[in-house]
Amino acid sequence: MDLPVMPPIKPMLAKAVKRIPPGMQYEAKWDGFRAIAHRDGPEVFLGSRTGKPLTRYFPEVAEALLTRLPERCVVDGEIVVEHEGRLDFDRLTERIHPAASRVRMLAETNPARFIAFDLLALGDEALLDTPLAERRAALEHTLAGVTAPVHLAPATRDPELAARWFEQYEGAGLDGVVAKPLDLPYRPDERLMYKIKHERTADVVVAGYRFHKSGPVVGSLLLGLYDGQGALQHVGVCAAFTARRRAELIEELEPLRMDPPTGHPWAAWADTSAHASSRLPGAPSRWSGKKDLSWVALRPERVCEVGYDHMEGDRFRHTAQFRRWRPDRAPESCGYAQLEEPVSYDLSAVLA
């Protein structure tokens, strides 16, 4: 492979803002694996956000790019998987599997798509210093008439349309809106774009914590919600505490500590088979590797309010943000019914 922009290359990133800024190009924020595709004749390389290769995990995407991209180019985009008309991140993560036979089977039964939204090189020309507006025009010309499973990401300069996308597209599993300055060059690994994500709050039960990597202080709180059968389901964690607050939480939560955790709703977390019937912390994952997933059990008696962006099935998609304690709420009152459900929106309408 011999291209003017060679792998590995890290993608340009976005920083979070509260509102859609004016005077920019707006795109939907896809909830998948960021991937930069390099094609040089018969060779295709898919690089992840960290520069690691993704090609072997998405053979159907690599094959599609060979027939749908120009012979020599570098394209920034997102790999996504669709299920029942919306993006499905859980099914996407299943593709990161060591067995080639498993990957191929999933590629056939639930194939992935590649959403293209930036052009980094074309032919022998690197476009990293070219303004976004010109890169977008070149991308639209290059991918005019492209067919599935490769798609040109929709883009607009109309902030009102972007606001409608922000509200509607969440129903198809998308993650918000990205705003890009029109004169922006492409700068790998720099946060020069802007992302606007949904923000909601929920009252959740604190049922445990994990230690921080720096020592015997709280790293994250383990959160739960009660389902319709009265079982406390693990829905995620909240983190991002200051060093001082981490130490304070150890003392504050000590009276609730259960050691041993006999009688705790998640006491069976270390039993792999128990994860099949309940959502418990410490579920085995290809992402966790050898990471220590142990945690300290707490009596599920305290409630806190957290901020979150959206749900992936029955859990928080990303780490939640601690807002405040809720001494006025009973733990048993913290169920899934409080969560806001986005209006359904068919992914095919986004990709049309």
Q: Which helix (H) or strand (E) holds 81?
A: strand 72-83
Taking only the tens place, the pLDDT of each residue in 52-76 is 999 999 999 999 999 999 999 999 9
pLDDT of residue 287: 47
Which is the catalytic residue, given 10, 18, 29, 213?
29
Between CA 131 and CA 346 the distance in angstroms is 33
The separation between CA 11 and the C-alpha centre of its own chain, rounded to angstroms, equals 15
**Residues contacting 334, CB < 8 A, separation 6+:** 202, 203, 204, 205, 224, 225, 226, 303
Asked if 38 and 120 touch (Cβ cutoff 8 Å), the reply is: no
The separation between CA 320 and the C-alpha centre of its own chain, rounded to angstroms, equals 13
Task: Average the pLDDT over 25-44 and give the result.
Answer: 97
pLDDT of residue 124: 98
pLDDT of residue 273: 61
Taking only the tens place, the pLDDT of each residue in 180-238 is 999 999 999 999 999 999 888 999 999 999 999 888 999 999 999 999 899 999 999 99
Phi, psi (degrees; rounded to nearest 5) at 211: -75, 150
Stated pTM of the model: 0.80
- Average pLDDT over the chain reads 92
- CA separation (Å) from 254 to 81, 121, 209, 246, 291? 43, 56, 11, 13, 24
Between CA 224 and CA 212 the distance in angstroms is 20
pLDDT of residue 316: 92
Between CA 239 and CA 307 the distance in angstroms is 11
Decide if 29 is catalytic: yes
Taking only the tens place, the pLDDT of each residue in 103-115 is 999 999 999 999 9
pLDDT of residue 292: 65
User: All domains of the chain, ordered by start, with CATH?
Assistant: 13-198 (3.30.470.30), 200-338 (2.40.50.140)
pLDDT band at residue 275 under the 50/70/90 scheme: low
Phi, psi (degrees; rounded to nearest 5) at 25: -95, 135
Task: Average the pLDDT over 136-152 and give the result.
Answer: 97
